[in-house]
Structure 1
Amino acid sequence: MWSIMAAEGTGDPSNNGELTNPPVTELYEPGVADLPKPDIEESVKSGADGGDTGISTASYTAEGEEEEEGEMPTDFERLWKLTSDNPQDFNSWTDLLQYCEQEGHMRASRQALNAFLVRYPLCYGYWKKFVDLERQAGHNDKAEEVCERGLKAIPLSVDLWIHYINLLLGTLNMNLPDSTRRIRSVFEEAVAAAGWDFNSDRLWDLFAEWEKEQANLKSMTSVYDRVLRVPTQLYNTHYEKLKTHLTSHLPQDILSPEEYSKVRSEYKQSQIQAKKERSDITADEEERPPGEDEPADNDSEEAVQKMQELLLVSREEVYQQNEAEVRKRWNYEESIKRPYFHVKPLDRAQLKAWQSYLDWEIAEAETAAMTAEGTAVEGHEDSKQECVAGHERVLILFERCLIACALYEEFWDKYVHYLEPRGLEEVRNVYRRACEIHLPYKHSIHLQWASFEEKHGNISEARRILESLEITVPGLAEVRLRRVGLERRAARLDVAESLLKETVDQSKDNPTLHAFYSIKLARFLHKLCKNPARARAVLQEAIELSPDNGRLYQNLLELEMSSDLRANGGVIQQCVAKALAAPLSPKTKILFSQRGLQFAEDFGTTVQSVLSMYEEHQKLLQEHNAKREAENSDNDDPEKMSKMDDGSSLMVPPQTAPPTMPHAPMTTPPPSMMGGDMSGSYGSYGSWYQQQYGGYGSYQNPWNQYNQYYPPS
């Protein structure tokens, strides 16, 4: 037992032997995750009691113990407040935990470790510290509970499984049969959870050595046979130990009855075949009559040796297949430099290494699946087993990756896309772990989760996710609009409208945001509720608050133009006039003037309205050109200007096509292109209009800049 317990924590990452997790002091040097700071105090509270993680954080204080220990240490409240104010500051947490450890205060240590491990459950070193803390205090049951919590949070941690087994070996009465069964059961759970990890060698070795100490050589053989099929770093070491084990004991002592009978039968058949080839068959070796038993005899030394050789031959083939799998993965494994969790960012090379490894393993599994599908008719069991094994390897690799890359949502997203065709509940569990534990402030993956639930008909869960996200990261327009869209698609227009109205009311202190939500509400009322009057009122109220926001006038104009143009022409012209009188930029006013002029030309009832709009438009163009000329004259080079004055550098400008509005507008109508009675003012305007617009398309480009205001909703 002591040799088994001594195996814990002996791995050296720099050694060729095992690539294991480094010590706690090396693993958690100060560093702060590159994550947004929480905006609300509620997130601190939920982090302290485990409300948002799905990990149990039941109280571990023994009855009456709190009163005996008295008050918290002197600096505990100060350090605790630092973690509460900014729970993502890893330095604050390590300072708090180190202080509690130095003080040796049980209740303070429990409170700090519970809160910390809710936020950082992948820190296996602190789970071990927590277990040791409880055990040293004499609370073996609580130490076991803490260990089980840690293994639920990070089931791939070989170190934590070994720590758990050593805890049981040190606390259980191993003279009792139930204790032996309990340890074996934990070993089975451990290899089922972490045994396919490339770095799980210590766990397999520990299992085999423990079976040896129990004098259960047959189970020891079974353990080595199982690990012989698993691609691990020390695959060759396991095979050498298995060969030593097979050649150091009698076959009947290390093999199951079925395998022993099989290998003994193979040995005898080989002997008979050999003698037949020599034509030296005795009477005893000939076929016996039916019903006559085979004479009893003990295995000779030669027979034992031959059977051992047969055992090695059968396992050599498995070893060769496993070695091929290891070689395919070796370079990928060598590229992984930090297989454990840390808040410090990974460099690009490491992120790329994980991506490449995952892509390759997924491709391998897909190839195995296609092979199994092709041989399904023939009933090849080996192909089916390899297909299942390929999928399991992908899952294990994803879980390993999401220990080191837990703070990178692209890997969670990749995991989801792999799992979705295979099972919805598995996808849901991945989303829950990502959003509720590791990425509580990354809104993108929360929105994906909500879309996933809505897609599969779980509207209430999608609603809960979005509401929870909005509490965690308040003020995100994308989240509020996603909530509005969810309610709209669920045919709850009243709820969607109330959400928009609430946001409009709450954003009055921010004119830009208020205008944005007002436009959203106006469009909702106009397009979905079919109530242009209320939509108009919303926009007009927003214009009063933000009279210099051109987008509000644009939306109001669009609203008016969507109605009956024959009955609403005067209102449209009033809307244009209101925009022209507002404190908008000259370019924006020119756009509105151009829109009004085109409306008058297309839908005006009198020619006077067209001429009036034309004159107003001309005034705006002249003012804009005068301002541009003044600005240009201020920037002219004096030497250049002097050359132009004496006529030494005059150049004839090249002939170009008529400019398009509003970049270089004409200030006066061109002369009539046709003779006769086209010399009147309206005829001149008509020619100007043709040159300026040339078609409806010249209007479209500048006006469509309005679309940039809206993100896709």
Structure 2
Amino acid sequence: MAAEGEMNSNGDLGEPSAMEAAEVSTLPPPEMSDENGCTDSATEASAQPETAFFSAPPDTEDEGSDLPADFERLWNAAHDNPRDFTSWTDLLQYCEQEGHIGASQRALMEFLARFPLCYGYWKKFADLERRAGNNDKAAEVCVQGLQSIPLSVDLWIHYINLLLGTLDMNLPESPKHIRSVFEDAVVAAGLDFHSNRLWDLYFEWEKEQGDLRNATAVLDRVLKVPTQHYNTHYEKFKVHLNNSDPKETLSLEEYEEVRAFCRESQKVERAEQAKEKGEERPPGEEEPATPEGTDSEELMQRMREQVLVRREKIYQENENEVRKRWNFEDTIKRPYFHVKPLDQTQLRGWHAYLDWEVAQLKKDTQDHNKDSNKTDADVKEDPEVTAQPQREMEETKVFCDDHRVRFLFERCLIACALYEEFWTRYIQYLETCSVDEVRAVYKRACDIHLPSTPNIHMQRATFEERHGDLAEARRVLEALDKNMPGLAVVRLRRAALERRAGQLEQSEALLQEAVTQSKEKPTLHAFYSIKLARLFLKLGRNPSRARRVLQEALEISPDNDKLHLNLLEVELSAETWSSAEAVQQCVTRALEAPLTPHTKILLSQRGLQFVEEYSNSIQSVLSVYEAHQKLIKELGGTKREAESGDEGREKLSKGDGGSANGASEQVPPTDPQVPITMPPPPPMSIDAGAQSGGYGGYSSWYQQPQYSSYGYQNTWNYNQGYYPPS
């Protein structure tokens, strides 16, 4: 709780409420690692949210020319890093200290466009307009704020108090307007566990208007809502009922029903008492009648007792619901928005609370379906069902349906607005309900709260593509690519979208542009070049263009082993009769490049394998083999250098006792459907063949799965976050 006189993150001063914020602290923007293909830091300044909150700009013409001295400096500092909460609060505090209305209006509008969940600053904005004599503008500010954060009990109360202080209550439309605002408030925020003050204000206002039935209706509604001070509402109901005539307090329907029941029970009770005393009335003489339109004090007391009996059932049911939620609510120490990170206890608490509420909904739905499937015979055989009237059952049923689950998600997304995982979870919940609702949640998350979190933007693009809106999917990815330049995953996602849409030329153009723009960054340039070459080779069926792309990339990055490996793949995929010389040239280029010994040996082995499989001359095979053996001796002196990196391969060539003939102990597959990919071992030992320079030594690497991991390994993990987690 903030100390009195201390400003919290929502802009309130000295209001001793549990909703107060703690110290102002800045949450650093999420960093993108190299695993996501980002070589530059995210550009926050380019992520501009929508700022058109108001229908018209504030009236700042008179004061716009003489802004405070340090305003421009603080304004520029905030705009240079628009997600820096502290820079904005420094600007707002300075404007408030200077007492400059125009500067404050301008700063508040920009701030609230980026941090619309700070209800305290909406209150400050409304108070600023009211002090300036703009009551209509103050009300408009409150309305705009409530559109951004409709669950804010504090902002609703502030708006209602503003109306109570500015409207002429002598006009007949004023009470109607305030009552409609109260209704909007309890519908929007009345399910909040801390909504007691709002319900109490509504009840007291109805009492002041002299409409006791409406006041009773308000209490009846809150008695069914699990709130922190649920018991005080019940006590208020008792006091309210005992201090008023039931005819003025209860609805006409309930009054007649309860009155008839109490009069009948009163008559039966008196008849039993008379029978016990042995008294009988003379024939034709009835019990003294009560004057028409009046109730005796005894009857009214009986009616109050009967009403409380009915409400007691509702109260007990609601108390049970409060007890279920109390531990979850107790873990939520910060139910308001703040840029300061939440601790893990609160994050786990939100997840557990959501899990429980969703499970409750499923349970209630199953129970409802079971009750709906009961036959008339089942109902007759069930004494509990027949004993309790249907209307009474409905009254004791505490409100718990899909609306409560959604309400809890919305509460969670106030405190956890900067956590992508909760937005994703809410979207997954809504996807079975409505596409439009999911689209609206994506818009709030991406445009306002998470402008620099790429995964949720890409999920949004996938969602739009999946539902057929390719134009919107393109727009989302283009905006993300512009706001976060250098993020390879976004450019690849754009190229993939165009490819799936049948726009292969556009896909090529996007990758070609990325290759051109990344020439100053060799690693990223090689990454894009490989992607473009593969597109030419696999989809364009144009190995010459793929070869040209990789060769140009090698001029910039001759030491990039992935470029050499992929160029070799291109040469190996060509026609056999025309690729032999190109393969050898590719291997020769790699051996002359500044590559690691392991990579050179791997490429040499691959060239040897190609000659072995496709050459028509044994002399060419032996020639390449001898060159390969010479390379091994030069780079490592042993065969182990060529075979390092895979412990499984050593086990294939050597048995437990260290013998080179251990490979013969490997059991070939017995399933006729599984081809034998490894030939039987040679009759002589591998090492002996190698020492004699014979061709048999070639089996030592051919038998082993050297190329199970051949090809370019994507260190960027660009598929990460393609779909929301299940």
TM over 0.5: yes
1:365–1:384 distance in 2 versus 1, CA, 3 Å: farther
Structure-to-structure mapping, 1:204-603, within 5 angstroms: 204-275=199-270, 296=292, 298-378=294-374, 389-603=400-614
CA distance in 2 between counterparts of 1:191 and 1:179 reads 19
How high is the TM-score relative to the length of structure 1?
Answer: 0.84
Contact 1:32 1:344 survives alignment (8 Å):
yes
- Residue 658 of structure 1, CA deviation: 6.6
Partner residue of 2:117? 122
Contact 2:533 2:545 in 1 (8 A): yes
Amino acid at match of 2:301: Q
Q: Assess if the C-alpha contact under 8 Å between 2:44 and 2:82 holds in 1.
A: no
Residues 95 and 104 in structure 2, CA contact (< 8 A), matched pair in contact too: yes
Q: 1:627 to 1:79 in 2, by over 3 A?
A: farther
Partner in structure 2 of residue 704 of structure 1 = 710
Query: Equivalent residue of 1:590, what SS?
Result: helix
* CA distance in 1 between partners of 2:690 and 2:239 (Å): 110
CA deviation after TM superposition for structure 1 residue 481, in Å: 0.7
Counterpart of 1:21, as a letter, is: M
Q: State how far apart, in whole Å, the 2-side matches of 1:512 and 1:363 are.
A: 49
Cα 1:69–1:440 change in 2 (3 A) is closer
Correspondence 1:169 to 2:164? yes
Residue in structure 2 matching 1:150, options 138, 145, 152: 145
Match of 1:637 in 2: none
C-alpha RMSD over aligned residues: 3.0
Q: Structure 1 pair 254/575, CA: closer, same or farther in 2 (3 Å)?
A: same
Residue identity matched to 1:689: Y
Q: For residues 486-512 of structure 1, give each alpha carbon's deviation from its aligned partner in whole angstroms, at most 9, with x where no partner exists.
A: 111111111111111111111111111
Q: Could you tell me which of 28, 37, 57 is aligned with 1:34?
A: 28
Indicate if the aligned counterparts of 1:231 and 1:326 stay in contact, CA closer than 8 A: yes
SS of match in other structure, 1:698: coil
Provide the C-alpha distance between the structure 1 equivalents of 2:588 and 2:522, rounded to a whole number of angstroms. 23
User: SS where residue 706 of structure 2 aligns?
Assistant: helix
In structure 2, what is the Cα distance between the partners aligned to 1:608 and 1:387?
89
CA distance, structure 2, for counterparts of residue 153 and residue 681 of structure 1: 77
| Alignment partner, residue 668 of structure 1 | none
Aligned residues: 643
CA distance in 1, matches of 2:712, 2:46: 39
Q: Per the alignment, do residues 475 and 247 of structure 1 end up closer, same or farther by CA in structure 2, a change over 3 Å counting? A: same
* Residues 369 and 387 in structure 1, CA contact (< 8 A), matched pair in contact too: no
Q: For 1:79, what is the secondary structure of its paired residue?
A: helix
Sort the Cα spacing of 1:538 and 1:385 in 2 relative to 1 into closer, same or farther, 3 A: farther
Looking at structure 2, the residues matched to 681 and 475 of structure 1 have their Cα atoms a distance apart, in angstroms, of: 49
1:511 & 1:182 partners in 2: Cα distance? 66
Q: What CA deviation, in whole Å up to 9, does each residue of 1:223-242 have, x standing for no partner?
A: 00000000000000000000
* Per-residue deviation, 1:685: 2.8
Higher mean Cα deviation, 394-403 or 681-690?
A: 681-690
Match for 1:327: what amino acid?
R
Q: Which residue of 2 aligns with 1:61?
A: 58
TM-score of the pair, normalised by structure 2:
0.83
CA deviations 1:631-657 (Å, max 9, x no partner) are xxxxxxxxxxxxxxxxxxxxxx97443
Deviation at 1:187, TM superposition (A): 0.3
Q: 1:375 offset after TM fit, Å? A: 2.1
Give the C-alpha shift of residue 689 in structure 1: 1.6
Following the alignment from structure 1 to structure 2, what is the Cα–Cα distance between the partners of residues 674 and 619?
A: 21
Structure 1 residues 512 and 386: alpha-carbon distance in aligned structure 2, compared to 1, 3 A threshold: farther
2:660 is matched by which residue type in structure 1?
A
| 2:101 aligned with 1:106 | yes
Distance 1:387 1:444, change over 3 A: farther
> 2:19 corresponds to which residue?
21
Equivalent pair of 2:632/2:638 in contact (CA under 8 Å): no
The 1:532–1:191 alpha-carbon spacing in structure 2 relative to 1, beyond 3 Å, is: same
Q: Give percent identity, aligned residues only.
A: 53
Aligned 8 A contact 1:518 1:539 in 2: yes
2:42–2:485 CA contact under 8 A, matched in 1: no
Q: Distance in 2 between matches of 1:407 and 1:680?
A: 65
Post-superposition shift, 1:68?
A: 5.1
CA offset at residue 297 of structure 1?
5.5
Per the alignment, residue 675 of structure 2 pairs with none
Say which SS state the counterpart of residue 138 (structure 1) adopts. coil
Call closer, same or farther: CA 1:217–1:541 in 2, change over 3 Å: same
Distance in 2 between the 1:518 and 1:711 partners? 17
C-alpha distance in structure 1 between counterparts of 2:131 and 2:567, whole Å? 73
Q: Which residue of 2 aligns with 1:664?
A: none
- What letter is aligned with 2:407? I
Question: C-alpha distance in 1, partners of 2:357/2:476?
Answer: 32
CA distance in 2 between partners of 1:519 and 1:240 (Å): 74
Deviation string 1:611-635 (CA, Å, 9 cap, x unpaired) is 11111111111112259999xxxxx
- Per-residue deviation, 1:315: 0.5
Letter in 2 for 1:455: R
Distance 2:602 2:395 in 1: 68
Deviations 1:368-403 (A, max 9, x none): 111122222349896899697332221111111111
Deviations 1:326-350 (A, max 9, x none): 0011111111111111111111111
- Cα distance 1:442–1:85, how it changes in 2: closer, same or farther (>3 A)? same
Q: Secondary structure at the match of 1:101?
A: helix
Amino acid in structure 1 at the alignment position of 2:43? D
* SS of corresponding position for 1:411: helix
CA drift at 1:294: 11
Equivalent AA in structure 2 for residue 257 of structure 1: L
Match of 1:643 in 2: none
Structure 2 residue identity aligned to 1:476: L
Q: In the aligned structure 2, how far is the partner of 1:681 from the partner of 1:351?
A: 63
Distance change (3 Å), C-alpha of 1:177 and 1:659: farther
Quick check: 1:657 aligned with 2:660?
Answer: yes
Structure-2 change in CA distance of 1:284 and 1:175 (3 Å):
farther
Out of 127, 134, 152, the position equivalent to 1:132 is: 127
Residue 440 to residue 659, structure 1, CA distance change in 2 (3 Å) = farther
The CA distance in 2 between the partners of 1:549 and 1:575, in whole Å, is 14
Measure, in 2, the Cα distance between the counterparts of 1:494 and 1:475.
22
Is 113-122 or 417-426 further displaced after alignment?
A: 417-426
Q: 2:699 aligns with which of 679, 690, 693?
A: 690
What are the Cα deviations for residues 85-116 of structure 1, in whole angstroms up to 9, with x where unaligned? Answer: 11122221111111100111111111110111
Quick check: 2:354–2:409 contact (8 Å CA) kept in 1? yes
Preserved CA contact (<8 Å) 2:625 2:698: no
Q: Report if aligned partners of 1:60, 1:142 keep a CA contact under 8 Å in 2.
A: no
Contact preservation (8 Å) 2:560, 2:595: yes
Match of 2:177 in 1: 182
Whole-Å Cα distance in 2 between the matches of residues 384 and 525 of structure 1?
Answer: 69
Shift of 1:692: 3.6
Q: Which amino acid counterpart does residue 368 of structure 2 have in structure 1?
A: A
